Structure 1
């Protein structure tokens, strides 16, 4: 009986050896790849957390510089954020903040460059849309109306469409294109929530152009039914 069991065990051992000889190398490499992937993912997660923490510290420093209106420090910290932590949200937010202070200080070129960077390299579509609207505001102040319309022509997330339409209406109104301005204001009015103060602002703009917002709402409802 013992001899029979020994033979079975030997046969199983031989089969195992044969299997390992044939597939062992492949199995080993598969395990190495899996372990490397797990290690790489954990390393990447750690790297992301580290990047976010360091970028956050720099953003805090930028906020302090903004409060102090220290333009030179703002420029330096903003550049650090963009060069070292470009993929983080803090880099885009920092550029928005820098652009705001720089514009207030009259450094429009530097503010424009900061906003263009967000639009080109920002990682968040919402923040990029904010940069687009703020850049258009600077262009409107400079009376660069065609440039402003070009800036506002790109697609933006749905929640920003009303804001962009309103700003387009402003540009067209300043250009003396009242009918086209009304079209954009109508879009904004239709998309804005009934309870928002912003909608009342658009309503006032329509009134100034001789348009009754209630008629606008009625027209919008009729268009929806088509």
Structure 2
């Protein structure tokens, strides 16, 4: 609005402003309230959906660990229909199940699916770390190396380099394997992993 010098002019200006813009303001207020209500509804809906997903995951997970006949099928269905962290957990559990059964093809399928369900960097690193190990088991060495590039974060360095060394050794690259194992040791891993990496380095020298 313009600047007015007298109180009456200011009052008249306000009246004209609301006369000209009152409808638009009213619509804006209504839209704002609706948007706020929609936001609260969305939050409530999301929380309810996650609570239901958690309960469904627990049920499907228990069916698998209890070796029920439809345990695998039910957990697979859950993983396919839940694009959230619970879907990732389901796919990871299925992958472990298939690895134990030496079914690396289906394990890779589950882990690939899990990698598409999360943007959480730490969870994604876990998925890709396991995927690379499964690809190594299938002798998909170049795929495994590409997958390992997606295992990020200082906490994953030693584990990532250990698998990288295994893959490079399988490719016949002894020097590359030695460098990878050494990098793993330099990242100050756990005592157990230190022992494993040193053992692998010693085996390269023998």
- TM-score, normalisation: structure 1: 0.77
Residue 58 of structure 2: aligned partner? 60
Larger radius of gyration: 1
1:149 positional shift:
2.2
8 Å contact kept, 1:99–1:114: yes
Q: CA deviation at 1:190?
A: 1.3
Partner of 1:75: 73
Identify the residue that residue 89 of structure 1 maps to in structure 2. 85
CA distance in 2, matches of 1:79, 1:158: 34
Secondary structure at the counterpart of residue 121 of structure 1:
coil
Contact 2:165 2:180 in 1 (8 A): yes
Matched residue, 1:206: 201
Match of 1:181 in 2: 177
Q: Number of matched residues?
A: 201
Question: Which residue in the other structure is 1:98 paired with?
Answer: 94
Preserved contact between residue 57 and residue 78 of structure 2 (Cα < 8 Å): no
After superposition, give the CA deviation of every residue in 1:25-82 in whole Å (9 maximum; x if it has no partner). 2221221222122112101111110111111012101221231234632232332343
- Measured against aligned partners, the alpha-carbon deviations of 1:142-200 in whole angstroms (never above 9, x if no partner) come to 3333332232233523422321111010112233321110111122111134x542222
- Gaps of at least 5 residues in structure 1 are 1-9, 212-226
- Report the equivalent of 1:23: 21
1:165 and 2:161 aligned = yes
1:42 aligns to 2:40 (yes or no): yes
Compute the TM-score of the two structures, normalised by the length of structure 2: 0.83
The match for 1:223 is none
For residue 122 of structure 2, what is the aligned residue in structure 1? Answer: 126
User: In 1, Cα distance between the equivalents of 2:76 and 2:48?
Assistant: 18
Q: 1:108 & 1:76 partners in 2: Cα distance?
A: 20
Classify 1:210/1:107 alpha carbon distance in 2 versus 1 (closer, same or farther; 3 Å): closer
| Alignment correspondent of 2:140 | 144
RMSD, matched Cα: 2.7
Change over 3 Å in CA distance of 1:42–1:196 after alignment to 2: farther
